[in-house]
Amino acid sequence: MIAVAIDGPAGAGKSTIAKQAAQNLGFIYVDTGAIYRAVGLACLQQQVDVSDSKTVAELLKKMDIRIIFFNGEQHILLNDADVSDEIRTEKISMAASKVSAIPEVRSFLLELQRNFARTDNVIMDGRDIGTVVLPNAQVKIFLTASPEIRAKRRVAQLAEKGEQADYEQVLADIVKRDYSDSNREIAPLKPAETAIPVDTSSLTLEESVRKVTEMIKERIE
């Protein structure tokens, strides 16, 4: 089996790039952030404070989170409900970031993530894939872009969905999320020792996909 780990901060283009590179290579693409988002959503649904690690850990025991693939697309099920769209809000982004700092949440999700790499060739994206989840991945990429570029892309993405967003607010949220993802005690966001850095600030999406696909091909052939 071949495993490719793509890590990096929020909004660097990881999911879009990883998804298209996976299509080019015939690999499955696993978006691990979606799982943390599902935990965040479950807490909001149950009115559990996402900073209250003890109660969140208790709630985990009642959570059934599953990832399924439908026409090659990842769907995330929370207690049998497809929540793939519902988890894509700014509120859930912040909740996911908060719950992801809780050790019980990370260990609860570890095997779920590792299982995909046992049965399929995968490109998995997240924050700790190269460092913790798949330390033996054959290819590790650390994708970045400046916070300003990431905020600009996010505002454009929301506008496409018909949602208006304030650039300054989006930028502030990105900086805040980067800080908490990089400074948490357990599995912080940081490049694996052997990760290849790719800065997408001055690349178009197509250029980024091409670059990442080529990098992977070169290393697995």
Q: What is the amino acid identity at position 27? A: F
| 3-class DSSP state of 151 | helix
CB of 61: closest distance to ligand DC in angstroms? 20
Site string (84-123) toward ligand DC, x via CB under 6 A = ---------x--xx--x-----------------------
Interaction with ligand DC in 163-202: which residues (CB under 6 A)?
177, 181
- C-alpha separations of 36 from 93, 121, 148, 216 in Å: 9, 22, 25, 26
Using CB under 6 A, pick the residue from 19, 60, 123, 127 that binds ligand DC: 127
Smallest separation, CB 16 to ligand DC (Å): 11
Q: Which is nearer to ligand DC, 13 or 218 (CB)?
A: 13
User: Judged by CB under 6 A, does residue 33 bind ligand DC?
Assistant: yes
Residue 81, beta-bridge partner list: 78
Binds ligand DC by CB under 6 A, chosen from 37, 150, 153, 154: 37
Place of tokens 């908060």: 98
Candidates 36, 173, 174, 195: give the one binding ligand DC (CB under 6 A). 36
Q: How far is the CB of 72 from ligand DC (least distance, A)?
A: 19
> What is the rounded distance in angstroms from the CA atom of residue 113 to the CA atom of residue 39?
14
Q: How far is the C-alpha of 75 from the C-alpha of 34, rounded, in Å?
A: 9
Antiparallel, parallel or unpaired: β 28-31 and 3-7 = unpaired
- The whole-angstrom separation of Cα 65 and Cα 130 is 23
- In the complex with ligand DC, the residue whose CB is nearer, 52 or 178, is 178
CB atoms within 10 A of CB 62: 9
Minimum separation from the CB atom of position 106 to ligand DC (A): 7
* Residues forming a β-bridge with 29: 123
Tell me the C-alpha distance between 158 and 95, whole Å. Answer: 19
Per CB under 6 A, the segment of 31-39, 136-144, 191-199, 200-208 that binds ligand DC is 31-39
Binding site for ligand DC (CB under 6 A): 10, 32-33, 36-37, 93, 96-97, 100, 126-129, 177, 181
